């Protein structure tokens, strides 16, 4: 099946190597999308979009490489596949990771530089209301758990900031967030991503 044969409901793949992928599945389906867990190259076929969830970025990329997914995912996103990356997913996408592990390989597609766990350890997790550009209504509840800190931005649009640092950015059909929208009951960001995925590149 190719994307030209799709139904009127977006088919969103959720990378399921490890991390908070089940929560994204729940949010996407509540937002009206169909979902598919992505664990092998064949799972990329026919997708309208893909989510790179939170988790542990080094483990995630090592597992992707082990099952032969790293390069196919890179090429799919480079080819215009709509992408939502949260927390560790942002690290995986980032062009520069200032404190990455020596063996860490990322996708290098998003023109930002990040510092892993820049907002502190698990015990320093917090929630803060965020004003997100283009999102009408109340502020969005930003849940920060071992979140990356964006230290540099290049050719990206900053959608939200926290204490002067970008926490939501967009580059073409990639949206990347330092925080975890899937851990809230607010579906607005997932609904916006489903709309982006349905818009033909």
Residue 139 falls in the annotated catalytic set: no
Helices 57-66 and 70-78: angle between axes, nearest 10 degrees: 100
Cα torsion 32, 33, 34, 40 to 10°: value is -150
d(CA 152, CA 96): 9
Residues 59, 96: contact at Cβ < 8 Å? Answer: no
Residue 24 falls in the annotated catalytic set: no
- Which pair of tokens denotes residue 4? 């030209």
Residues 13, 37: contact at Cβ < 8 Å? Answer: yes
Set 23, 87, 178, 190: catalytic member: 87
- Which pair of tokens denotes residue 145? 């758990």
Q: Other C-beta atoms within 10 Å of 99: how many? A: 11
- Which pair of tokens denotes residue 179? 């925080």
Q: Other C-beta atoms within 10 Å of 103: how many? A: 9
Active site residues: 87, 180, 182
């Amino acid at each position: 099946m190719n994307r030209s044969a799709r139904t009127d409901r977006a088919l969103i793949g959720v990378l399921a190597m490890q991390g908070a992928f089940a929560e994204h599945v729940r949010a996407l389906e509540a937002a009206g999308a169909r979902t598919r867990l992505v664990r092998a190259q064949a799972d990329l076929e026919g997708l309208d979009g893909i989510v790179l969830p939170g988790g542990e970025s080094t483990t995630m990329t090592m597992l992707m490489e082990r099952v032969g997914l790293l390069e196919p995912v890179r090429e799919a996103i480079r080819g215009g596949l709509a992408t939502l990356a949260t927390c560790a997913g942002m690290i995986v996408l980032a062009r520069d990771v200032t404190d990455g592990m020596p063996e860490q390989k990322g996708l290098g597609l998003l023109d930002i530089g990040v510092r892993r766990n820049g907002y502190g350890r698990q015990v320093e997790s917090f929630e803060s209301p965020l004003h997100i550009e283009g999102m009408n209504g109340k502020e969005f509840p930003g849940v920060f758990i071992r979140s990356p800190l964006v230290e540099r931005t290049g050719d990206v649009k900053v959608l939200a900031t926290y204490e002067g640092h970008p926490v939501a950015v967009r580059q073409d059909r990639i949206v990347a967030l330092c925080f975890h929208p899937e851990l809230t009951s607010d579906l607005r960001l997932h609904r916006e991503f489903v709309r982006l995925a349905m818009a033909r590149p």
